[in-house]
Structure 1
Amino acid sequence: MIDKIINKETKKTIFYTLGMFFIFSLAFFVITLVIQINTDMAEKDEIMTQEKQLVDVEKTIITNKVDRLATDLLYVTDALELGDNSRSDYSTVADHWLAFSNRKIIYDQIRFIDVDGNEVIRVNYTDTGATLADSDDLQNRADRYYFTEAIGLEKDQIYFSKLDLNMENDKIEQPIKPMIRLATPYFGPRGQLEGIVVLNYSADDMLSQVEKIASTSRGQIFMLNADGYWLYNSADTSKAWSFMDENRLDESFKNDFPDIWQSIETEKNGAQISDTGIFNYTNILTADELELDSNHSLVLGMGDWTIVSYIPTDTAEGKLLTASLFDTVLLVLKDNLFAYFLIFALALFLGALLTINKVKNDEIKYFSEYDAMTGIFNRRTGFEKLTQLYKSTEKNKSEISVCFIDINGLKDVNDYLGHDVGDELILTITTGIKNNIRENDFVARLGGDEFLIIFEGLDEDGAEVVWQRIVQDFEQINDTENRRYLISASHGIETFSGGSNEYIDTIINQADEKMYREKKIIKKDLKIIRDFKPGDETGPLPQA
């Protein structure tokens, strides 16, 4: 009997143990599975978002490049018109073109071709600089596609050719020269068509920018022409330009990924997951998207280009993006097998989960209150702090000063020196403010180049004293550090008391108006970008 009771209790203990083990193991499994799925989803979203943003950035870079190329073509055409004396003396034009070619260093040739296809002026650029071709070296280009397609254009139309490799004597020039030709008709002083102006743009300049952005991709970046051939392939450069070789016409993105190419031709932009990988793509230089200005129009001779981000399925990112729920379950079981034999590990896991959850909540709270780049209050938090301060001072009617600040020339710094330098300017401004305000003052970032300082217990004169300390810091940096730009900011200060019953928005708007008036005065004589030294590639830049 005792043996039966012992056996019964032993069985019950085993049953309870197995039951508890099953319950805790199941709970642990469900929790780990949910975490894995959420982590995978977040990483998938991050990868897909990053790749989409990357192809969009590539599109913007190329579109902006085309805009600048068209502007350069109009410039050299204007130079031809100004130097045309109707006596076939183009020496002044040649001088302008030589200087322009040496300054830009991206144009292999600048030419004026008459209506019969004869080169009248040709400026060549090599590593040693720009030279003017001798009259004996000028050639007839009437049979070239860019001449036949551009000579019939209307005034103020600009022809933009396909991107291909330069040919000499029906052979690909070595080393290869990716080339785009821009052309526009030239009408002489009497309004008659006299020929076309042609720029041979060395597209290595553009492709190097594409390559720089492509280096940040989690996969591979392709640039395709309208026929589905590679113009750029970050993974295998040998695949590019196969359309220039009759023996390699089968080597194309269109043939390697026919289903994806069909989607690209149909949808123009989007994302797709297939058995071969994950694709994000967008068309660039489409005729319906690219506009120069109201007075000129582009005639695209190359069809649409396409930027493609490709993540193969055999990579870690590709496996993550294509994983099924069954794959995730197997991964969770494999990674946590030892934990199922240790119930105590469940408690450790829960503690870790709470810690992770707390860190995530703190991170969310931080980014909801602070500007991620500068570490100061963001717009929403700044207004909340100001409102709280306003309410707390209603009884004692102490003064509060609001200083509205706008960075001068941030757009010029971003445009001409790059956004990394623009970020440096923003951080310098922020640091100067934080180092000079009092402990009970605070600063908030309202937007890209706008900031707000709140001075508790200071009138306008006192706030101005603090602002002048900040300005002195900026001036010291301008005098002692050899930066490519000047640090400058406009400000406007408005003071009110806690019991004034004024609206905060009204007060800030008044400070904004004062800032704007100061900015108009400062910008008259302000040159944010410092002059370049002789020999710099881009030359002096315009005033802010």
Structure 2
Amino acid sequence: MNMNSFIAKKKYILKYSIILFITLSLIFISLSSIFQYNIMNLKKQEIEKNENRIVRLEKDILREQIDNVISDLLFLSDSLDLYSLDESTYQDIAKQWKVFSDRKKIYDQIRYIDLSGNEIIRINYSDKGSHIINKSELKNKKERYYFKDSISLKRKQIYISKLDLNVEDGKVEQPLKSMMRLSTPVFDNEGNVKGIVILNYYAKYLLDDFGAISQNSVGEAYLLDSNGYWIYNKDKDKEWAFMYEEKKEISFKNEYPKEWSYILDNEEGTLNTKNGFYTFSNIMQIDTDSSKNKKLENIDIVFGEGNWTVVLFIPKDSECGVLFENDPFELLLNVLSNGKIVLLIILIISILFSVLMTMNKISKEKIKYFSEYDEMTGVLNRRAGLQNLNKQYTDIVNNGGGISICFIDINGLKDVNDALGHEAGDELIMTVVKGIKKHIKKSDFVIRMGGDEFLVIFVNLDIEEAENVWERINNEYKKINDEENRAYIVSVSHGIEECKFHHNEYIDSIINSADQKMYNEKREIKKGLTIVRKKQD
């Protein structure tokens, strides 16, 4: 047994390194995954809370602005009840509305239109202030969608148009003017509709507020109309696409069809898809409960083309988007990617610790080896050998089988030591042991009882079979004597005794019997035997 074998050391180091590395890595990856999952969950909850807060804030701010416009519309409508609404009063009304427009600064136009669609009063506002449009410049608007949608309204109904760009003479006005039109009917004393009041609300202020609030979102902020078109988007090429024939395919609805379908079915909520995480809410969830909305008490809102929706979108491939990734494989990859240095340290520690464990194992094996084996010959020493023999004996008693014990003694070892030196004596001992090992089975074993005495234990061989093996061993020695020109001859005496497993049979008595046979043979062999050969002149 070569305890210093590099191959053996390498095998143990590799084995322990792999086991330690896998064990420690699994512990690290498990703990890291749990820790990272919890951290990601906390961050995700914070982001969800932030996005929901921003959506609510966007909704409240925009609703507040629209509610204020509705209040202004009702004020102007109610003020008309003070007049008879004929040519004599139109000029007075126009002057009052001009003052109102200059104060508000948010209405591109304030108009009163009669049942035929004719503009009766129109106040235009610009950076230079408001001015009353001359009667000769007033137009008929009966073909415009907002007039058609408004003229059939009942008392206390407010019409809110879609949010679009202002169009003049069939073209989008430049620079762009985002407009929302709100209207309500005006009635005479008999309850008949006399006309409608229309406010052209300059929605730039509303959209500016929307953009300012959206800066606090970690994702992208969108304001969508009821058809899924972008009214607000940081990518300006996608805004107002429905106003241009060549851009009508550009919409949130077409880019994210599944998400849009879900948003249509729900007034507000969150949605996590393969594209990313969405937080959304309708803007105009008008509450007519007077306890919650005093401004709009008993008011019925009629939408021209539905509602608007604020959407905050966190793309999946963004820095925060990965927090909403539910794939455990992605989480594992993320842990491995972030933990490469730690895994390298674990590998180094595993190797170092494995080297120490291997050295300790080798040290223990050496101690065990030298406590059980004869250092020179590598066979079992007397103590360990007899323990093993007793164990074999007990096993065979319980389970069946047989044992033959061969007691051998090397003839003339002392003569070789005295005449040729201990190196030659050691060579003789090793030659004898090698000859035995060459011809016995793996289950057989050899015990060194003393300096030149050995036991050979033949497992499951009777005495005749054991003698046959011994004959082959002895022939090996004869071959050495005949073919090798050594200064000594190899000669061994032996005695074999078979265990009969009688009730009163003991191992010691069997060994003594074999020993006695060996001495009987030794007396015969030593007659005229010369171990050390004479030197040739």
| Shorter-chain TM-score tier | 0.5 to 0.7
1:214 CA drift (Å): 1.5
Whether 1:268 and 2:271 are equivalent positions in the alignment is: no
Residue in 2 that maps onto 1:201: 201
Residues 449-490 of structure 1, C-alpha deviation per residue, up to 9 Å, x if partnerless?
Answer: xxxxxxxxxxxxxxxxxxxxxxxxxxxxxxxxxxxxxxxxxx
Residue type matched to 2:283 in 1? I
1:261 CA drift (Å): 1.3
Residue in 2 that maps onto 1:141: 141
Whether 1:40 and 2:40 are equivalent positions in the alignment is: yes
1:307 CA drift (Å): 1.4
Residue type matched to 1:38 in 2? N
Residue type matched to 2:253 in 1? K
Equivalences for 1:102-501 in 2 at 5 Å?
102-188=102-188, 191-234=191-234, 236-286=235-285, 293-322=296-325, 324-342=327-345
> Which structure has the larger Rg?
2
Residues 10-40 of structure 1, C-alpha deviation per residue, up to 9 Å, x if partnerless?
Answer: 9878866765555444433322222111111
Aligned-partner Cα distance in 1 for 2:280–2:115: 41
How many residues end up aligned between the 2 structures? 345
TM-score (norm 2): 0.59
TM-score (norm 1): 0.58
Matched-pair identity in %:
38
Residue in 1 that maps onto 2:452: none
Residue type matched to 2:254 in 1? N
Flag the 1:4–1:209 CA change in 2: closer, same or farther, 3 A.
same
Residue type matched to 2:251 in 1? S
Equivalences for 1:4-153 in 2 at 5 Å?
22-84=22-84, 88-153=88-153
Flag the 1:17–1:151 CA change in 2: closer, same or farther, 3 A.
closer
Flag the 1:224–1:341 CA change in 2: closer, same or farther, 3 A.
closer
Residues 19-62 of structure 1, C-alpha deviation per residue, up to 9 Å, x if partnerless?
Answer: 55554444333222221111111122222232232222222222
Q: Does structure 1 conserve the Cα–Cα contact (< 8 Å) formed by 2:288 and 2:296?
A: no
1:134 CA drift (Å): 1.1
Residues 477-517 of structure 1, C-alpha deviation per residue, up to 9 Å, x if partnerless?
Answer: xxxxxxxxxxxxxxxxxxxxxxxxxxxxxxxxxxxxxxxxx
Aligned-partner Cα distance in 2 for 1:7–1:229: 72
Aligned-partner Cα distance in 1 for 2:157–2:26: 70
Residue type matched to 1:248 in 2? K
Structure possessing the higher relative contact order (Cα contacts under 8 Å, 6 or more residues apart): 2
Secondary structure (helix, strand or coil) at the match of 1:39 reads helix
Residue type matched to 1:271 in 2? T
Please list every run of 5 or more consecutive structure 1 residues that lacks an aligned counterpart in the other structure.
347-544
Secondary structure (helix, strand or coil) at the match of 2:89 reads coil
Flag the 1:203–1:7 CA change in 2: closer, same or farther, 3 A.
closer
Aligned-partner Cα distance in 1 for 2:288–2:59: 11
Farther-moved stretch of structure 1 (283-292 vs 64-73): 283-292
Q: Does structure 2 conserve the Cα–Cα contact (< 8 Å) formed by 1:106 and 1:202?
A: yes
Residue type matched to 2:171 in 1? K
Aligned-partner Cα distance in 2 for 1:54–1:332: 31
Flag the 1:327–1:81 CA change in 2: closer, same or farther, 3 A.
same
Secondary structure (helix, strand or coil) at the match of 1:174 reads coil
Secondary structure (helix, strand or coil) at the match of 2:35 reads helix
Q: Does structure 2 conserve the Cα–Cα contact (< 8 Å) formed by 1:86 and 1:189?
A: no
Aligned-partner Cα distance in 1 for 2:239–2:13: 71
Aligned-partner Cα distance in 2 for 1:45–1:283: 22
Secondary structure (helix, strand or coil) at the match of 2:183 reads strand
Q: Does structure 1 conserve the Cα–Cα contact (< 8 Å) formed by 2:288 and 2:299?
A: no
Q: Does structure 2 conserve the Cα–Cα contact (< 8 Å) formed by 1:102 and 1:129?
A: yes
Secondary structure (helix, strand or coil) at the match of 1:295 reads coil
1:225 CA drift (Å): 1.2
1:99 CA drift (Å): 1.4
Please list every run of 5 or more consecutive structure 2 residues that lacks an aligned counterpart in the other structure.
350-537
Flag the 1:289–1:162 CA change in 2: closer, same or farther, 3 A.
farther
Q: Does structure 2 conserve the Cα–Cα contact (< 8 Å) formed by 1:239 and 1:251?
A: yes
Residues 54-86 of structure 1, C-alpha deviation per residue, up to 9 Å, x if partnerless?
Answer: 222222222222211110001112333335475
Aligned-partner Cα distance in 1 for 2:245–2:52: 34
Residue type matched to 1:142 in 2? K
Aligned-partner Cα distance in 2 for 1:18–1:237: 57
Q: Does structure 2 conserve the Cα–Cα contact (< 8 Å) formed by 1:286 and 1:305?
A: no
Residue type matched to 1:170 in 2? G
Aligned-partner Cα distance in 2 for 1:129–1:36: 59
Aligned-partner Cα distance in 2 for 1:43–1:198: 47
Residue type matched to 2:47 in 1? I
1:141 CA drift (Å): 1.6
CA RMSD of aligned residues (A): 2.9
Q: Does structure 2 conserve the Cα–Cα contact (< 8 Å) formed by 1:79 and 1:96?
A: no
Flag the 1:246–1:5 CA change in 2: closer, same or farther, 3 A.
closer
Residue type matched to 2:310 in 1? I
Aligned-partner Cα distance in 1 for 2:65–2:348: 58
1:91 CA drift (Å): 3.1
